[in-house]
Amino acid sequence: MNSVAAQNFKISIQIQPSLQCFLLPSSPPKFLKILHKPQNPITLKFCPIQAASNHKSITSTNQQQEQDDGIPIEHVKTLVKFKSRHNYIRVLQVSRRADHPLAGSRLLLLDAPGNIHSISFLFKSITNAYYDVFATLPPILPPGPLGILGFGAGSAAKLILEMYPQGVIHGYELDPAVISVGREYFGLSKVEKQYPDRLFIYISNALNASVKDGYSGLLVDLFSKGCVIPELQNPDTWQKLKGKLKKGGRIMVNVGGSCVEPEDIRKNGKVIMEETLEAMNKVFPGEVFVLNLGNKKQEDSTVALAGGLPDLEKWMMSLPKPLRFYVDRWKKYGG
């Protein structure tokens, strides 16, 4: 049994279309159970838990149901895990033999709670996660480079470079170990070689990013210790980011939500999300829109757009078909 299967844990993964998956904490865990929910969840989380005593007396009927609905845990393998200066890095591989929407994927985890920061499939670029929402931004931007603040292993960048032949990306990542893992396990080296004049990666503080004449847009995906970084709850940060944009530029942000689990149990992902949105709205009054990707009562996860909505019909028709359904889901913040 591999190192993942040797412990009791729970995987909570929300993906399109409307599936929430739990690894039942039996002793030892054997199956990943899939539960259908009336929603379009899109957040990803992997979190260790202790085995619950009420799972120890599962009847044979329930065990058979788990086998019918789930996948064997031996299909999930840890490829690497280590601590860098900034993160607790783990890479998981889901076997292609698994009867599961994540079959064949690799997942990048960067914190103790197990929030997933990158996802990659061998034979497709669509991730069925919020990176796909990020990939809807380029058609509504003026000409110019796109900045990705919090590059991770490059899930969003890969999508955008493949879908938009004229796109140029400047990606910023604080942790060099994350970029190294991206190159070795997520195909980032291949992407860099394929697009040498369109992809530029910098190891630096993303909040200090800059290019001559400004960015056409910014994708912001900045998390630390399991939650949105505190700087993003400060309006001064958003004023600074706004100043990095070209005229007509926009910012799209992963603001998390209750689905995000901070390392500090005193913090709350939903509260941090609201504080981040409030700070954005002070700098972009009336121009902040939100797209909720989960169950608002249980597992909300939100992407925000600052700079106002474009003509929705034109935006939709400018997108590849797999991304069009996101367009009419945006709602005005506070509206």
pLDDT tens-digit readout, 219-267: 999 998 878 999 999 999 999 999 999 999 999 999 987 666 666 666 7
Out of 67-71, 227-231, 290-294, the most confident range is 227-231
pLDDT at 24: 30
Q: For residue 323, report the phi and psi dihedrals to the nearest 5 degrees.
A: -105, -5
Task: Name the least confident of 83-87, 95-99, 277-281.
Answer: 95-99
pLDDT tens-digit readout, 151-170: 999 999 999 999 999 999 99
CA neighbor of 280 nearest in space, from 222, 245, 246, 241: 241
Residue 61 has pLDDT above 90, yes or no: no
Please give the Cα distance from 157 to 145 (Å, whole number). Answer: 12
- The number of C-alpha atoms within 13 Å of 304 and in the hemisphere containing its C-beta is 27
Instruction: Tell me the H-state helices in 32-175.
Output: 60-69, 130-134, 155-163
Q: Residue 146: count other Cβ atoms within 10 Å of its Cβ.
A: 25
CA neighbor of 173 nearest in space, from 198, 147, 193: 147
What's the mean per-residue pLDDT of the chain?
Answer: 79
Contact at 8 Å (CB) between 172 and 181?
no
Higher-confidence position of 57 and 304: 304
pLDDT at 17: 32
Higher-confidence position of 176 and 9: 176
Please give the structure tokens belonging to residue 198. Answer: 């369109």
pLDDT at 115: 75
Strand, coil or helix: 187: coil
* Residue 278 one-letter amino acid: E
Element counts in the chain: helices (H) and strands (E): 8, 19
Fold (CATH) for 128-330 = Rossmann fold (3.40.50)
The CB-based long-range contact list for 2-7 (8 Å cut-off, 24+ gap) reads 2/74, 2/76, 2/77, 2/78, 3/78, 3/81, 4/73, 4/76, 4/77, 4/78, 4/92, 5/29, 5/73, 5/74, 5/76, 7/48
Residue 114 has pLDDT above 50, yes or no: yes
pTM: 0.80
Show me where the domains of the chain are located. 71-119, 128-330
Residue 326 has pLDDT above 70, yes or no: yes
pLDDT at 173: 97
What whole-number percentage of the chain has pLDDT above 90?
57
Residue 328 has pLDDT above 80, yes or no: yes
